[in-house]
Amino acid sequence: MSRRKGLSHEEKRTKMMELFYEKKDFFQLKELEKLGPKEKGVISQAVKDVVQSLVDDGMVDTEKIGTSVYFWAFPSKALSTRKRKMDELEARLEETNKRLMKSQTNLENAKVGREEGEDRQEILEQLAQLESTKEQLTTEIQKYHDCDPEVLKLLKDSVKVAHEAVNRWTDNIYAVKSWCNKKFFIEEATINKQFGIPEDLDYM
């Protein structure tokens, strides 16, 4: 014969709640660990975790009195909890319905002046055509961008700045080579080879 399938965690919770509702009494954990297997088929090793999960969810009450901890749950509280939950859900539903109605009203107001008419489609087609023409003209203008006098002037100015910078750095290189020659008696050819300086380096 196949072994009997054990209860799932949720089934154990349901069984323990049945125990509380049927007994309508206060229990210590040791008592629940005895009653759980005997009356509801919940193994004693699982009772503590199951009861604690019910306490965490507010379904079972607990209180420490002296050195003892007691647990209890009455059907009246469950009914009250369900009613409170239902009231909360109904309030949320009402609020959602109000927001939905407000959104529908705003949508209807937004449609005013935007009704589909005979000329609307024609205007939209003209707009699409104008946007297409604008894109073509922008592309055409870009072709002649390099011939723009302002662009050419900027290029000339950039070339001039670059030319001056090249000659300035060439001058700096000559000055450094001269200093090395006088300070350390290093020949120019050796410096050129060491630092990769072309032999024909000259001003532009």
Residue 189 has pLDDT above 90, yes or no: no
Distance CA 160, CA 5 (A): 90
pLDDT score for 1: 46
Q: Which residue has the tokens 């001058």?
A: 171
Which H or E element spans position 68? strand 68-72
pLDDT in tens, 150-179: 766 777 777 777 778 777 887 888 888 788
Of 167, 166, 168, 194, the closest CA to residue 180 belongs to 194
Cα-to-chain-centroid distance, residue 113: 38
Give how far the C-alpha of residue 82 lies from the chain's centroid of Cα atoms, to the nearest Å. 35
Sign of CA dihedral 164, 167, 169, 175: negative
Report pLDDT for 123. 76
Give CA–CA dist 54/12, Å, rounded: 10
Q: Pick the residue with more confidence: 100 or 54? A: 54
Query: What pLDDT does residue 148 have?
Result: 65
Each residue's pLDDT tens digit, 94-108: 888 888 888 888 777
Residue 190's pLDDT band (cuts 50, 70, 90): confident
> According to the model, what pLDDT value does residue 193 have?
82
Residue 136 has pLDDT above 60, yes or no: yes
The residues, any chain, with a CB within 8 Å of residue 28's CB and separated by 6 or more, are: 68, 69, 70, 71
